[in-house]
Amino acid sequence: MFMADFFSKKRIHRFFDTGKVEEVDDHLIGESRLLIRLDGQDFIHAVCTPFQIEEFVIGFLRTRGLIDNLEDIASVDLSENTASVTRRARLRGKTPELRLLESTGSRNIDRKIAFRSNGKTPPQGFSVSAKVLVSGFKKLSDMPIYKKTGGTHCAILFTEKGNPLVEAEDIGRHNAVDKVIGGGMKRAVDFSRSWLAVSGRLPADMVLKPLLVGIPLIASVSAATAAGVEIGERGGITVVGFVRGSQFNCYCHPERIIA
């Protein structure tokens, strides 16, 4: 359900290369700031879209190495602009210093910690057909807030057969993925038998997310960076980019894709 006051309508001028100019109403998406309080301390502010907030917070903590599973969270309390999370006693006081400024412009966990904390190995026998992968991106472009405003990034977690498991949108591409991971954790999804479709680029900090939870394949409408491909190669993650029309590029571990 949309929050009515989160969207605004503005009269704009639309220009065409033919010289035509017309005035139309355009829908704009807003921005919201969320404070995450961790174990009683202000931890970080996030600019996000205020939907699926609990999923976002859970996924954010998981992909930053601050929890390993839902059982690590004692409580989550959501107020208007604050998410207060209390972890189990054994984790309190164990907060890594997020010194690395990633491609999102936000602090993230160091990739060495991510590799060290990942105990999962991508499964044998997992495969996705090229047809299923391409079809998944048709669903990605049909997300409701994106269709209304064009202002969100989208992420969907799919089964091997292409059935959507969890969907999310956010003005931040990393936020959308965190929401999907958090939603998957809440639904006890077997990440090792799923693949992730996203709308943003695939730098190292994005490819680390499926690595951390054991998702064997990540695909995007956009490009991967050299560092993103390196993470995929090292971690055993299939990295796919430029899924457009009926084709795509596979940068590493193509054995999981059936032509």
Question: Is residue 78 a contact partner of residue 55, using CB atoms and an 8 Å limit?
Answer: no
Q: Is the pTM of this model over 0.85?
A: yes
Residue 97 region by backbone torsions, left for phi larger than 0, else alpha for psi between -120 and 50, else beta: beta
**100, β-bridge pairs:** 108
Mean pLDDT of the chain: 88
Q: Which CATH number fits domain 32-117: 3.10.20.10, 2.40.30.10, 3.30.1950.10, 3.40.1280.10?
A: 3.10.20.10
Residue numbers of the chain with a pLDDT score lower than 50: 1-2, 4, 99-101, 103, 105-106, 119
Alpha-carbon span 238 to 254, nearest angstrom: 7
Domain boundaries, the chain: 32-117, 128-258
Q: Quick one: DSSP state of residue 236?
A: T
pLDDT tens digits, residue range 120-160? 556 678 999 999 999 999 999 899 989 888 889 999 999 99
Query: What string of DSSP letters covers 3-29?
Result: -GGGEEEEEEEEE-TTS-EEEEEEEEE
Contacts of 72 (CB under 8 A, 6+ apart): 87, 88, 91
CATH 3.40.50.1360 fits 128-258, yes or no: no
Domains 32-117 and 128-258 share a fold: no
What is residue 29's predicted lDDT score, i.e. its pLDDT? Answer: 87
